[in-house]
Amino acid sequence: MDKMGTIQKATVSDVNEKAVFSQIDGQTLMTKKTEFETAPQLGAEISGFIYENKKHQLCLAPKLPKVRVDHYAYGTVTDVRRDLGVFIDGGLPDKDLVISLDDLPENKQIWPEKGDRLMITLKVDKKGRMWAKLADETIFKAISNRPSGRNMRNENVSGTTYRLRAVGSLLITDDYYLGFIHHSERDVEPRLGEHVTGRVIGLTADGMLNISLKPRAFEEIGDDAAMVLAVLKRDPSGSIAFTDKSDPEEIKAYFGISKGAFKRALGHLLKARLIEQRDGRTYLK
């Protein structure tokens, strides 16, 4: 049908207990009655989105899908077939859209997984088949925000990856800032469409956030720094009567760790600007 993937008007030709049938150019379209607030009468004119469902029936959807030709929106991955592609919920009843193998990374290990999200639009081929098409970088630039002079360094950010390159991954944050993760700032390459959390380590000249998925220095050393930080946060004064010059035995008795481990923990917390030392005490900043 040459009207596949478009919004059209049709005339109701039949109604039964489960479905409403309509006609357009001599072809019959089916709509479940549950898709209407009130079922239309015979001869009424209805409008909706034309598509083919999983049973290869021509259908008319009164509620327009969020993904249409030249309309971009996030779709959720519903299934992954290594031999066919990735199936996406684009907002149609009884129909998932497919991203073809040609539009997916060659490395199938970084393909999306079920539940991941992808920004897509709809395309219809010469045979009338509907496909999902990934949004390109121009779309993400068009919908993105700029930090506008705000200092975001060391802030935590979450976002969804939309392009994977050998040098790194591109993502758009939940607040619609564009970000870049250099391959040296991650331990594992994110999947396409994966939602990740990292921290801002810089800003490019064109307003893109440089993001690291690696832990902060104090997070890398694990429990010792976290324990010291927790003790500081619990204390009403936000301070402890210990510094890197404190007695080793007193440190061992209070924290249960060696002075060397304590000094390393303090060093990382100082570097991360989470604490300060003065007058023989350590204070939470």
Q: What is the mean pLDDT of each run of 10 residues along the chain (285 residues)?
A: 91 95 95 94 96 94 95 97 94 94 92 97 94 96 84 90 93 96 92 96 87 74 80 91 94 91 89 88 92
How many other β-carbons are positioned within 10 Å of the β-carbon of residue 101? Answer: 15
Task: Classify 52 as helix, strand or coil.
Answer: strand
pLDDT score, position 219: 60
CATH architecture of the domain covering 7-61: Beta Barrel (2.40)
In the chain, residues under CATH classification 1.10.10.10 are 218-284
Would you say domain 218-284 falls under CATH 1.10.1060.10? Answer: no
Q: Are strands 156-164 and 58-61 parallel, antiparallel or unpaired?
A: unpaired
In the chain, residues under CATH classification 2.40.50.330 are 7-61
In the chain, residues under CATH classification 2.40.50.140 are 73-135, 145-212
pLDDT score, position 217: 59
Are the C-beta atoms of 96 and 131 separated by less than 8 Å?
A: no
Are the C-beta atoms of 48 and 68 separated by less than 8 Å?
A: no
Are the C-beta atoms of 122 and 5 separated by less than 8 Å?
A: yes
Instruction: Specify the CATH class of 73-135 in words.
Output: mainly beta
Give the CATH number of domain 145-212. 2.40.50.140
User: DSSP E strands: which ranges in 71-173?
Assistant: 73-81, 85-89, 97-100, 117-124, 130-134, 156-164, 168-173
pTM: 0.74
How many other β-carbons are positioned within 10 Å of the β-carbon of residue 132? Answer: 23
